[in-house]
Amino acid sequence: MVLRIHGLLFLNLQTLFGLYGHRDKLSGLRFSTSVAACYSILTLKFNRTPRRKLTSTRSHEKSKLGSFSWHGTWRSTFLNLTQDQISQVRCENVFSDVLYRPFLCTYTPLSPYTTNIPRENAITRLENLSATEFLDSWSNKPFILTKTVLEWTVYKIWDMNSLLEKYGDVLFRAESVDWSLSTYVEYMRNNSDESPLYLFDRSFVSKMNLNTNNKQQPLAYWSPECLGEDLFDVLGDKRPDSKWLIIGPARSGSTYHKDPNATSAWNAVLRGSKYWIMFPSSPSSRPPPGVYVSEDQSEVTSPLSIAEWLLGFHAEARKTPGCVEGICAEGEVLHVPSGWWHLVVNLDASIAITQNFVPRSHLTNVLAFLEDNISDQVSGFRKDVTDPYSLFVEKMHSQHSDLLEKAFAELERKREGRKRKWDAAVSNTEGETGGPGFSFGFGDESDAEVP
């Protein structure tokens, strides 16, 4: 018998639904509950990952603390099946695009995509950088620092076993669930998910009792000095989330996104290694191949998994102007400039720390983002911070009024420039803007996106 299942609906739902919306650093994805519900039904039916069920049903009831035994698959864990209770279905006569596609994406080797990076695409690697060089020439470019992390205490002493020993019972956020580290590591070491669940925890500093600011005591880690001050520091404890611990197995990672609130970021690899592919964005540029963005940029649709994107779009992406790629190895840290699209995949089991910040060179972008708050995209602030823009302006005014004034003047210039271009375009008095789509390009470095 030949069984062929047509999976158009299923694949569309896959594309629409992901757990990434729960990773608060990855903003921009919204999913309706009805789609989520459909997905749960379909995943159970097709025996794909019924992750959400584990948050509320049987296994969870047994272990309210997010600490339970992982049985190798979501289904076996959910049903609490032992090895001898797992049915072995013979399926040599089943032919299904729906079932084959995730299988292919789960097992296809990723090295053809992550190696042989063309020299012109390679992210620059630097031993160090001064704060002035960063502000003058590098704050709009990705780069990898190869020496900074080597001094950190966490780099010297963290690995999966030392973390398990010390924090095995501590709950960490992994997408939409809170699991103990020992449960997560059991999962991480024994799963065959197309998009492995990713530990992405914003409260790790307090959960792990790390010293990140008392310089009288040894610090666990510190921000690379060349990146300079973080202007969101003026907000004190009202700043948006900014620090995450990231742990995941090989093939886990982050699908395309831009970082929240127009912030920049650094991402330090303590164990393992990560492949990065990144694209600048400007009002006139398109998102990376295979990535579709709604008009207000609040919704991003891309293939369900990283592997699926690599299979379908990597070759084209590599040839796209602006594309940069690199491998951030153990002990290295990568700079993510404000507004850049990036997709990241772990090449081995990885432990990383990432931190978002506002360098003075991107103050204008951040102010514009907070002020416009298009489709409520401002994220990561505590609920009691009802007007992040006004609060930031007030604090900047009292602590860095010179920078604030300059930023407002630049914003004004950009908005004026944009308006002039718009007026010219609608009255058709100025020449063609060139290429498909309309460009608001300001034609210089300051042409960074003002959302």
Q: Which C-beta is closer to ligand AKG: that of 188 or that of 344?
A: 344
Residues binding ligand AKG: number (CB under 6 A): 12
* Least distance between ligand AKG and beta carbon 253 (Å): 5
Q: Does 175 bind ligand AKG (CB under 6 A)?
A: no
352 binds, among Fe ion, ligand AKG, none (CB under 5 to 8 A by kind): ligand AKG
- Minimum CB separation of residue 242 from Fe ion in Å reads 12
Q: How far is the CB of 283 from ligand AKG (least distance, A)?
A: 22
Decide which of ligand AKG, Fe ion, none touches 354; Cβ closer than 5 to 8 Å per partner kind: ligand AKG
Which of 246, 268, 306, 324 forms a contact with ligand AKG (CB under 6 A)? 246
Among 171, 227, 245, 265, binds ligand AKG (CB under 6 A): 265
- Considering the rule CB under 6 A, would residue 59 count as an interface residue with ligand AKG? no
Which helix (DSSP H) or strand (DSSP E) does residue 247 occupy? strand 243-248
Q: Which of 182, 267, 281, 377 binds ligand AKG (CB under 6 A)?
A: 267
Q: Which span (112-120, 253-261, 309-317, 395-403) binds ligand AKG, by CB under 6 A? A: 253-261
Is 251 one of the binding residues for ligand AKG (CB under 6 A)?
no
Is 264 a residue that touches ligand AKG (CB under 6 A)?
no
Check residue 344 for interaction with ligand AKG (CB under 6 A): yes
Site string for ligand AKG, 350-379 (x = CB under 6 A): --x-x-------------------------
Q: Does 333 bind ligand AKG (CB under 6 A)?
A: no
Binding stretches for Fe ion (CB under 5 A): 259
Positions 25 through 54 that interact with ligand AKG (CB under 6 A) = none
Alpha-helical segments (H) within 130-256? 131-133, 153-157, 160-167, 181-189, 204-207
The structure tokens listed for 331 are 């002990």
- Please report where in the chains the tokens 């600490």 appear, as a residue: 67
Binding ligand AKG by CB under 6 A: which of 186, 194, 259, 330?
259
| Closer residue to ligand AKG, CB minimum distance, 344 or 363 | 344
- Rounded Cα distance, 92 and 96, in Å: 11
- Express the helix, strand and coil content of the chain in percent, nearest 5 each: 40, 15, 45
> 274 forms bridges with which residues in the sheet?
328, 346
Instruction: Tell me if 323 sits within 8 A of 317, measured CB to CB.
Output: yes
- Choose one: 47-55, 209-217, 336-344, 383-391; the region binding ligand AKG (CB under 6 A): 336-344
Question: Which residues are bridge partners to 345 per DSSP?
Answer: 253, 275
* Burial annotation 142-171 (CB, 10 A radius, 16+ → b, else e): bbbbbebbeebebbeebebeebbeebeebb
- Assess 254 for contact with ligand AKG (CB under 6 A): yes
Q: Which is nearer to ligand AKG, 7 or 337 (CB)?
A: 337
Angstrom distance (rounded) from CA 372 to CA 304: 30
Examine residue 336 and tell whether it contacts ligand AKG (CB under 6 A): yes
Contact 215, 155 (CB under 8 A): no
> Binding partner of residue 99 among Fe ion, ligand AKG, none, CB under 5 to 8 Å per kind?
none
Report helix, strand or coil for 351: strand
- Alpha-carbon torsion angle 20, 360, 445, 409, nearest 10: 110
In the complex, minimum distance from the CB of residue 226 to ligand AKG, in angstroms, rounded to a whole number: 18
If the CB atoms of residues 230 and 259 are measured against Fe ion, the closer one turns out to be 259
Query: Which phi and psi (to 5°) does residue 73 adopt?
Result: -135, 160
Contacts of 300 (CB under 8 A, 6+ apart): 28, 29, 256, 257, 287, 291, 292, 293, 294
The Cα–Cα gap between 360 and 230 comes to: 8
Could you identify the residue written with the tokens 């398109």? 286
Exactly one of 50, 66, 196, 253 binds ligand AKG (CB under 6 A); that residue is 253
Q: Are 256 and 291 in contact (CB under 8 A)?
A: yes
Closest distance to ligand AKG from the beta carbon of 196 (Å) = 11
Which option in ligand AKG, Fe ion, none does residue 230 bind, with CB closer than 5 to 8 A by kind?
A: none
Three-state DSSP at 410 gives helix
Residue showing tokens 């749960």: 40
The residues of the shown chain that bind ligand AKG, judged by CB under 6 A, are 246, 253-254, 259, 265, 267, 274, 336, 342, 344, 352, 354
